[in-house]
């Protein structure tokens, strides 16, 4: 038996689960709570699925990009190596070719020029076998030096020029070329042809071929 006597509050009907009374805290309807819980569950599954799909797509795109880049890089490396080898080949070819041409041209040119010079000298009778000198017999100052340079350019054995001794040697006919012996005649005549001197003769006590020039020399 209750220790309290029966009163009017004992006549109040019990609260249903979906009702909120003055003396009870607000609650959630069981059906609404169940529906909310199911919705959250599906939302979570959708979010997880989206994340997985995004991750898979990212990895696929990344792998495809790496595969595409790899052949390009490999082709670039191959092209660079080919260009390097081709460049080295061209450099070596040019270097060898230039050297070869230089050697060939140098040898052929040098031999050719020397050969032609020797042939021309031989044909003209010019050689350095016998010495020759210029003698100034009244020519303007510096004339003997000029003739000496011309004789030197002909590849002759040129001696130092001297002045004609009028007191002891008399007055010579100029211009003329005098040679000491018959063995020098061919060379003396060749020098006369080069210098345009027609008077070429043997005589005197000269030890060398002499080219005598006078006042007419310009």
pLDDT tens sequence across 19-48:
555 554 555 555 555 566 677 778 888 888
Topology (CATH) of 131-213: Alpha-Beta Plaits (3.30.70)
Would you state the pLDDT for residue 102? 41
Cα separation, 52 vs 32, in Å, equals 30
Q: How far is CA 2 from CA 5, 9, 10, 14, 126, in A?
A: 7, 14, 12, 18, 165
pLDDT digit string, tens, across residues 130-145: 999 999 999 999 999 9
pLDDT at residue 128 is higher than 70? yes
Looking at residues 173-180, what average pLDDT do you find? 95
**What pLDDT is stored for residue 50 in this prediction?**
86
**pLDDT of amino acid 148:** 96
List, in sequence order, the alpha helices (H) in 125-200: 143-153, 166-169, 185-195
The answer, as to whether pTM is greater than 0.95, is no
Do residues 174 and 134 lie in contact, with contact meaning Cβ atoms separated by under 8 Å? no
Residue listed under structure tokens 């310009």 = 218
pLDDT 10s digits, 49-105: 888 888 888 877 877 766 555 454 455 555 566 565 665 555 554 555 455 444 444
Above 80 in pLDDT, residue 197? yes
What does the domain layout of the chain look like in residue ranges?
Answer: 1-124, 131-213
């Amino acid at each position: 038996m209750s220790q309290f006597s029966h009163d009017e509050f004992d006549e109040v009907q019990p609260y249903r689960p979906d009702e909120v009374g003055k003396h009870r805290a607000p609650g959630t309807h069981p059906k609404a709570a169940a529906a909310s819980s199911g919705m959250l569950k599906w939302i979570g599954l959708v979010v997880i699925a989206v994340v997985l799909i995004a991750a898979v797509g990212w990895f696929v795109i990344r792998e495809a990009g790496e595969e595409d880049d790899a052949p390009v890089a490999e082709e670039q490396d191959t092209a660079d190596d080919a260009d390097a080898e081709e460049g080295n080949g061209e450099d070596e070819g040019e270097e060898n070719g230039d050297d070869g041409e230089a050697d060939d041209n140098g040898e052929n040119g040098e031999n050719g020029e020397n050969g032609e010079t020797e042939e021309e000298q031989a044909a003209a009778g010019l050689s350095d076998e016998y010495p020759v000198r210029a003698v100034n017999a009244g020519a303007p100052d510096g004339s003997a030096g000029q003739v000496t340079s011309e004789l030197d350019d002909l590849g002759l054995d040129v001696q130092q020029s001297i002045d004609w001794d009028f007191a002891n040697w008399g007055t010579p006919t100029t211009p003329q070329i005098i040679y000491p012996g018959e063995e020098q005649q061919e060379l003396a005549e060749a020098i006369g042809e080069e210098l345009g001197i027609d008077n070429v003769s043997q005589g005197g006590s000269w030890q060398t071929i002499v080219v005598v020039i006078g006042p007419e020399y310009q």
